[in-house]
Amino acid sequence: MSGFVAIPFQNTLGALGSDSLRAGWWLCGAGTIVLLAWGFVALSVPLPVTVSSADGRTVAAADALDIATLSDAPIAALPRKLGDVVSAGDVLLEFDSEPLRLELARSQQRLQSLEQEIESIDVGLTALGETLEGELVSFDMASEALSARMAETRAELDYAIEAETLYRQFRAERQIDALKYARAQTEVAQIRLQLQAREAESSELMANRRLAVSRNETARAQLMRHRARLMGDRAELAPEQRKTQLKIEELTVRAPFTGRVGAMARVSVGQALQPGEWLMTLVPIREYEFQATFSAREAAGRLRPEQPARIRFYALPWTEFGTLEARVLRVATEERNGTVRVDFTVDADSPLGAHLDHGLKGEAVVQIDEATLTQRMFWLLNRPAPGTPDPIQHAAVR
């Protein structure tokens, strides 16, 4: 009976030993996998590198703004009333700008007239150029034709002179009578007179050509002088129009930011006030910034505008209310008492934004870079002594 019991017990011990060995291998395999996974994460998965502020608080992004009159013109429109909510650029009130608008309209009509007159002068200058070009072509064609006739006349004169010389010799030898010689002399004289007439015609033609050029240049100079005067008048009108337009724009008071009309003077349309008199007060609506101070050693060179950040408020535990998304708005360029001031824009539309109030204190956490666990362990092991450059800072600046 004892032998029968011992055999199952030995089998049980053997099964337990086999199971423990198998479990050991499984544990070793699982540990190896976990170690490899951790190594992969440590070497390749980047994690955010952050810096935290020493303290901080919520402040209003804009102060209440008192709006005063800029002109003694009567009020033309008063579209807002006490308590109205306005957006940036909305019209708050308008002063009477009709006289300035009439002046601007007259100036624009004058400018349009000047433009048309200048355009007409430009057309005239173009016509003068085309007319002169046509006249010069006509003169050149007439001159070429006259030159051809003069060349023909000179050839006839040379022939007549040779004939007259020959007739003189024949007359000396009494081979021809005096009448033929006289006819030859007369023909030479007539041809010379004809040549002189054509030369005079050529001179007159060249003089007329020069006169046409001079007359055209004179007309062109007069038009150019008139055009220069018109251009001067136009140049004087342009800044006057811009000045008038600016005056008209100044008579329309617009909201510089989104806000609410918190207070308002007792005024009505048509009433004229003295420049500088108070009209209304515009109060900003739920526009906040978060101002925090950071250690200069941690923030210098690391924090830049547009970096993402999270804000945790002391009075609103993050486990219940969460954190508020924000971005770096501006970073101070000088430190004070070892700290640097950093301003943040906040997401006022988030659920936590409904709890924002002026003076609410908290802490800002800014993501400055990403690094793996291995890189961060390397930086920690190689942290320099105080007063020497910080490799984490240099890595964040890159």
Please report which helix (H) or strand (E) contains residue 210, including its range: helix 178-250
Cα–Cα distance list, 161 to 187, 188, 189, 263 (Å): 9, 6, 9, 116
Tokens of 224: 């150019």
pLDDT (0 to 100) of residue 189: 87
Portions of the chain given CATH number 2.40.50.100: 65-96+252-283
Query: Which band of pLDDT confidence, cut at 50, 70 and 90, is reported for residue 224?
Result: very high
CATH of domain 65-96+252-283: 2.40.50.100
Pairwise pLDDT comparison (394 vs 336), residue with the higher score: 336
pLDDT (0 to 100) of residue 123: 93
Portions of the chain given CATH number 2.40.30.170: 45-61+287-397
pTM (two decimals):
0.43
Region 149-158 average pLDDT: 86
Write the single-letter amino acid at 216: N
The rounded percent of the chain whose pLDDT value lies above 90 is: 13
Query: Which band of pLDDT confidence, cut at 50, 70 and 90, is reported for residue 228?
Result: very high
Q: Tell me what the pLDDT averaged over the chain comes to.
A: 81
pLDDT at position 119 over 90: yes
Tokens of 390: 């910080």
pLDDT one-digit tens code per residue, 44-66: 656 667 788 888 988 776 677 88
- 335 φ, ψ to 5°? -90, 160
Region 346-357 average pLDDT: 78
Name, in order, each residue with C-beta under 8 angstroms of 87's C-beta and a sequence gap of 6 or more.
255, 258
User: Residue 52: which of 345, 303, 289 has the closest Cα?
Assistant: 303
Pairwise pLDDT comparison (126 vs 288), residue with the higher score: 126
pLDDT (0 to 100) of residue 363: 92
Pairwise pLDDT comparison (154 vs 19), residue with the higher score: 154
Helix (H, G, I), strand (E, B) or coil at 176: coil
Tokens of 387: 């007063």
The top-level CATH class assigned to 98-249 is mainly alpha
Tokens of 278: 């108070």
pLDDT (0 to 100) of residue 371: 58
CA distance 203 to 196: 10
pLDDT (0 to 100) of residue 335: 82
Helices (H) and strands (E) in the chain, counts: 7, 14
DSSP per residue, 51-102: EE-SEEEEEESS--EEEE----SBEEE----TT-EE-TT-EEEEE--HHHHH
- The DSSP symbol for 352 reads G
User: Residue 139: which of 79, 94, 203 has the closest Cα?
Assistant: 203
pLDDT at position 392 over 50: no
Q: Mutual orientation of helices 98-172 and 178-250 as an angle, nearest 10°?
A: 170
Pairwise pLDDT comparison (1 vs 136), residue with the higher score: 136
Region 89-108 average pLDDT: 89
Portions of the chain given CATH number 1.10.287.1490: 98-249
DSSP per residue, 14-36: HHHHHHHHHHHHHHHHHHHHHHH
| 157-193 CB burial, b ≥16 within 10 A, e <16 | beebeebbeebeeebeeeebeeeebeebeebbeebee
Region 176-202 average pLDDT: 83
pLDDT at position 122 over 90: yes
Helix (H, G, I), strand (E, B) or coil at 274: coil
pLDDT at position 151 over 80: yes
Query: Which band of pLDDT confidence, cut at 50, 70 and 90, is reported for residue 394?
Result: very low
Task: Judge residue 93's burial from the number of C-beta atoms within 10 Å of its C-beta, 0-12 exposed, 13-18 middle, 19 or more buried.
Answer: buried
pLDDT one-digit tens code per residue, 284-331: 776 788 999 998 887 777 888 888 899 999 888 888 888 888 999 888
Query: Which band of pLDDT confidence, cut at 50, 70 and 90, is reported for residue 376?
Result: low
The top-level CATH class assigned to 45-61+287-397 is mainly beta
Region 26-42 average pLDDT: 72
